[in-house]
Amino acid sequence: MSLKLLRHGLSGRPPERMWHSRPLKDEYEVVIIGGGAHGLACAYYLATQHGITDVAVLDKSYIGAGGSGRNTAIIRSNYLTPEGTNFYNESVRLYENLSVELDFNVMFSQRGHLTLAHTDASVRTMRRRAEVNRLQGVDSSLIWPEEISRLCPQLDLSDHPRYPILGALYHPPGGIIRHDAVVWGYAHQADALGVHIHQHTEVTGIDLTNGEVAGVRTSRGVIRTGTVLNATAGWASTIASMVGLSLPMETFPLQACVTEPLKPFLNVVIVSGSLHAYISQSDRGELVMGASVDPFASYSMNSSLEFLEGIAGHVLELFPCLSNVRVLRQWGGLCEMPPDFSPLMGFTPIKGFLIDAGWGTYGFKASPICGKTMAELIASGSTPDLIKPFRLSRFDEHDLVGEKGAASVGH
């Protein structure tokens, strides 16, 4: 890498483009709607693992403009159900090797992840999560204030706050990553393997013939295809409605903010479910903070003062020392929440129309494994075991995967 850099620096030529704009063909084997980490990862694994390169990735904006560029970049696998834990753990394993695989530094920093418990009830949930996690081979344990103060002495561990810290679920492999780099890395490699990435190409309709997918209408023309993957995060219901399908989820905005950059101050990820807050320090020194979803459904990504007031109060309860730090930026993204806080992946009643949706507040951390399993599903025509629990038909079969306890706030 460094040699390449040196050669480029001396050659005076502009660096190669990471991916290219190509003409829209009128037919593709697979069309992926949504150029985020999920869609691009799926295209990448289709090309590398299954040799399918006649693939188009469409995005109505630039790639990574949706959830992939708006999340707070936390990676972890300490979920509540065995299905969820296994699935996210595979994702963490893929992330661990991603920089090497994509030949692009995604800056994955496994600095440790602490989920704080402020009540006896949440201590019990943490203990249950730790046991489930360990049974599935995930490094996760319940720790007490003494050890919390060793890992994060900046926290107010006294009994003065309204909700004193009683314990925490400690997950050493958890951490943060550069989310844009994940998108760019997948885009770069997928493009190099022959996948077409079409930015600013909005899907306006999906054509069906005899109830099967026949093509996709876009703002740049019509594409014939037999396989469409809907990987559009918060907007997946609108794409599904184009084939007359409704999905069991509702879209809520989720807001986040960053402070001005500080010197290195916080080297773990801190999450508090009871206080609806999570906080980490980025490599630039900014403190990245987020909360739970807004209290009502909406497709608006506007920022609100209510959110900022709430998050500031809660973070100051944890870290009173931050009272003079200023907020630099605030933004919103869209999260589609299924009733059981688990995703909707795989086949739908419409032949050729596949979904990778319902990604609520936990989608980014699952990107590599979603791409890999959905690519396998497309290539083989059958659902991989790892994502069978997340099939859409689970609602008709009354077989939900209740993940709310571990996914609603602790992103």
Partner 1 sequence: MIRIPCPNCGPRNVSEFRYGGEYNPRPADPTAVPESEWVRYHYFKNNTMGEQVEWWLHQSGCELWFLVERERRTNDIIKSYLWADGDSR
Crossing angle for the helix pair 37-50 and 367-380, to the nearest 10 degrees: 50
* C-beta separation of 113 from 168 below 8 A: no
385 part of the interface to partner 1, by CB under 8 A: no
Gap between the Cα atoms of 78 and 126, Å rounded: 10
Helix/strand/coil for 322: helix
Our CB check for partner 1 shows the closer of 218 and 232 to be 232
CB of 41 to partner 1, least distance (A): 24
Residues 6 or more apart from 407 whose CB is under 8 A from it? Answer: 79, 80, 84, 341, 342, 360, 361, 362
Contact string 250-289 vs partner 1 (x = CB under 8 A): xx--------------------------------------
Pick the closer one to partner 1 by CB: 42 or 293.
293
The amino acid at residue 41 is A
Q: Which long-range contacts (CB under 8 A, 24 or more apart) does 14-23 make?
A: 18/184, 18/187, 18/188, 18/191, 19/63, 19/187, 19/188, 19/190, 19/191, 19/197, 20/191, 20/197, 21/198, 21/199, 22/196, 22/197, 22/198
Q: Which is nearer to partner 1, 34 or 371 (CB)?
A: 34
Annotate 332-347 with three-state secondary structure: EEEEEECCCCCCEEEE
- CA distance linking residue 365 with residue 338, whole number of Å: 17
Of 116-124, 167-175, 294-302, 376-384, the segment contacting partner 1 by CB under 8 A is: 294-302
> Which CB atom, from 185 or from 253, has the smaller least distance to partner 1?
253
2 or 246: CB nearest partner 1: 246
Among 154, 267, 298, 383, binds partner 1 (CB under 8 A): 298
The tokens for 21 are 């704009």
Binding mask 207-246 for partner 1 (x = CB under 8 A): ----------------------------x-xx-------x
For 266-366, where are the alpha helices, taking DSSP H only?
305-318
Residue that the structure tokens 């077989």 belong to: 399
**Smaller CB distance to partner 1: residue 125 or 304?**
304
Q: Which of 12, 210, 305, 381 touches partner 1 (CB under 8 A)?
A: 305
Cβ of residue 250: shortest distance to partner 1, in angstroms? 5
Question: Assign residue 194 a region: left if phi > 0, alpha if psi is -120 to 50, beta otherwise?
Answer: left
Do the beta carbons of residue 291 and residue 311 sit within 8 Å? yes
- Binds partner 1 (CB under 8 A): choice among 163, 331, 347, 395: 395
180 CB-contact burial (10 Å; exposed 0-12 / middle 13-18 / buried 19+): middle
From the list 373, 370, 360, 367, the residue with the least C-alpha distance to 406 is 360
Q: How far is the CB of 403 from partner 1 (least distance, A)?
A: 15
* Least Cβ distance, residue 400 to partner 1 (angstroms): 9
Q: Is 390 in the site for partner 1 (CB under 8 A)?
A: no
Applying CB under 8 A, among 137, 221, 244, 295 the residue interacting with partner 1 is 295
Stretch that binds partner 1, among 54-62, 215-223, 279-287, 293-301 (CB under 8 A): 293-301
- If the CB atoms of residues 76 and 394 are measured against partner 1, the closer one turns out to be 394
Assess 296 for contact with partner 1 (CB under 8 A): yes
Distance separating alpha carbons of residues 362 and 341, to the nearest angstrom:
9
Instruction: HSE, CB side, 13 Å, CA atoms: give it for residue 246.
Output: 4
Residue 299: CB minimum distance to partner 1, A? 5
295 by Cβ neighbours in 10 Å (0-12 / 13-18 / 19+) ranks as exposed
Question: Total binding residues for partner 1 by CB under 8 A?
Answer: 24
Would you give the binding string for partner 1 spanning residues 327-366, x where CB under 8 A is met?
---------x-xx---------------------------
Closest CB 320 distance from partner 1, rounded Å: 25
Between residues 120 and 296, which has the closer beta carbon with respect to partner 1?
296
Compute the least distance from the CB of residue 338 to partner 1, in Å.
Answer: 8
Report, in Å, the least distance between residue 366 CB and partner 1: 21
> Which residues here bind partner 1, judged by CB under 8 A?
235, 237-238, 246-251, 295-300, 302, 304-306, 336, 338-339, 395-396
